[in-house]
């Protein structure tokens, strides 16, 4: 399963919680709240026998989700979505990029893009960018080595050792990201159980945003929920 939140209207901090079945690629519930108690109340309407079958729940790093999962899905482990973890690393890298004052065109796109996906021309531009700053070069290399951990076939224990080793090397560069990763290290490493991500949920969220945009937002939650589930 995956649990996430989206806003009912663009520009408003009026969130609803969405729940999807990753294996089937289906949206299964939309909850008119982002508060723990309400989410638990709605999800507990499903029979316990059904909820016991859930083995993993992929989420972002909002602190309320693990408590919800513990109450609702007694046999499930929390898996912090890898792309949210990489986002934390990329946010720190982007700060260093700004501090470096790089003028090369499209430098942000090239630095944040997966190194393995860079074209030959982009690789040449990357080298021009990294020549400007030793600190930026180190930050980029650390970003790529962190991504490489996720691409490796590891056990949970091996993944934790790799990530903790990376944190030791990156501590002076990725201060905020390391604090975030350290606070969620166990749930982050659960990714290596079966490499579960919230990719399916992101696709569903994109469709939901399209529905919302076409309707110019929804005032009535019931209508919003029915449209998304349909």
Mean pLDDT of successive 10-residue stretches along the chain, which has 230 residues: 83 80 93 93 95 96 91 96 96 95 89 95 94 95 98 97 98 95 97 94 89 73 86
pTM (predicted TM-score)? 0.89
Write the burial class of residue 198 (CB in 10 Å: 0-12 exposed, 13-18 middle, 19+ buried). buried
pLDDT of residue 215: 67
- 104 and 97 Cβ atoms separated by less than 8 Å: no
pLDDT of residue 222: 85
pLDDT of residue 83: 94
Please give the structure tokens belonging to residue 86. Answer: 């990489």
Of residues 77, 82, 83, the one with CA closest to residue 65:
77
pLDDT of residue 110: 95
pLDDT of residue 155: 97
Of residues 53, 47, 139, the one with CA closest to residue 96:
139
Please give the structure tokens belonging to residue 108. Answer: 């942000």
pLDDT of residue 63: 85
- 68 and 36 Cβ atoms separated by less than 8 Å: yes
pLDDT of residue 125: 94
Please give the structure tokens belonging to residue 85. Answer: 């973890």
Strands 26-31 and 2-7 turn out to be: unpaired
- 125 and 104 Cβ atoms separated by less than 8 Å: yes
pLDDT of residue 10: 62
pLDDT of residue 217: 65
């Amino acid at each position: 399963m995956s649990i996430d939140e989206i806003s009912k209207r663009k520009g408003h901090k009026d969130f609803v919680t969405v729940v999807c079945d990753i294996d089937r690629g289906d949206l299964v519930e939309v909850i008119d709240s982002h508060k723990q108690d309400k989410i638990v109340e709605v999800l507990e309407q499903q029979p316990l026998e059904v909820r016991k079958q859930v083995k993993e729940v992929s989420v972002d790093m909002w602190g309320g989700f693990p408590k919800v999962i513990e109450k609702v899905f007694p046999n499930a482990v929390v898996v912090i979505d890898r792309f949210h973890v990489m986002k934390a690393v990329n946010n720190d890298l982007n700060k260093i990029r700004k501090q470096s004052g790089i003028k090369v065109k499209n430098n942000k796109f090239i630095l944040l893009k997966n190194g393995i996906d860079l074209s030959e021309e982009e690789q040449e531009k990357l080298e021009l960018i990294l020549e400007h700053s030793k600190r930026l070069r180190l930050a980029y290399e650390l970003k790529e080595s962190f991504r490489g951990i996720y691409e490796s076939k590891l056990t949970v224990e091996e993944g934790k050792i790799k990530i903790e080793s990376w944190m030791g090397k990156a501590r002076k560069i990725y201060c905020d990201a390391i604090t975030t990763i350290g606070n969620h290290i166990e749930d982050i490493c659960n990714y290596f159980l079966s490499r579960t991500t919230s990719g399916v949920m992101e696709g569903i969220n994109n469709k939901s945003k399209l529905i919302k945009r076409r309707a110019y937002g929804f005032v009535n939650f019931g209508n919003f929920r029915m449209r998304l589930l349909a």
